[in-house]
Amino acid sequence: MSEFERLKDLLDDKYLLFNQKNFIEHDPVSIPHLFAIKEDIEISGFIAAVFAWGQRKTIINKCNELFKLMDNDPYKFIMHHSDKDLKVFESFKHRTFNSTDTLYFIAALKHIYSHHGGLENAFSEGLSITDASVKNGLNRFKEIFFELEYYPERTKKHIASPKRNSTCKRLNMYLRWMVRKDDKGVDFGIWDKIEAHQLICPCDVHVERVARKLGLIKSKKPNWKMAEELTENLKEFDSSDPVKYDFALFGLGVEGHL
């Protein structure tokens, strides 16, 4: 068996091992799984992904705290809240994400659903079907998110973009949740305007460490080019759905199987 075949077997085996419903409970993806309506899944997933740094338990707890303030009905709250309803967010905080950021996110999301037809359209607006990756879509999304004249400058740090050479780990993870279609029950696959082969692998510390050990990346610094490099190498194993191997790389890193 060649080295390529051995590596493909490892990645395929671990993808199947970790892409299971029992993965959901202790991961931020558990948050959108609490909802059934498409808009609630999109909004809760987006916020869970933005919050996804630090301990997973804390991320999940903070998401639950935030959506409780929205009566666990995020789309309805965002679209129909009054100014008085916003007072409950004045003391909300998650790491560097504070009440100022929270209030702007609520306003920006309302704007996106009112003027752009929702998050799926906002992420795909800058994307062509011929684009090799979601790069242009992510850059355009950041422009859309900060279209409102009164956006706080501090809030821009919470939305990454390839233009700033970020790996865009959290947004790429979110897109995986929304776009990938399979029957495993973890990813939702509720979006149709972005193709799975256009997704970029989320590069967190676990994925980066394992990918380096497996020779899948050579870039020295975690940035957009590294994320592209990893994804291009994963396409050698599955050109139509390379990001499915995020499960394998992340799982190997977190569980210490490598």
Asked if residues 159 and 145 have their Cβ atoms less than 8 Å apart, the reply is: yes
* Cross-strand bridge partners of residue 41: none
The stretch 18-29 carries a mean pLDDT of 92
Handedness of CA 230, 236, 242, 245 (dihedral sign): negative
- The better pLDDT of the pair 61, 255 is held by 61
> Are 217 and 211 within 8 A, CB to CB?
yes
pLDDT at 218 over 90: yes
**Rounded Cα gap, residues 223 and 221, in angstroms:** 6
- Per residue, what are the HEC states of 14-46? HHHHHCCHHHCCCCHHHCHHHCCCHHHHHHHHH
The model's confidence at residue 23, banded by pLDDT at 50, 70 and 90, is confident
Q: What's this model's pTM, rounded to 2 decimal places?
A: 0.96
86-126 pLDDT per residue, tens: 999 999 999 999 999 999 999 999 999 999 999 999 999 99
The pLDDT tens digits for 164-176 are 999 999 999 999 9
Residue spans per domain, the chain: 3-255
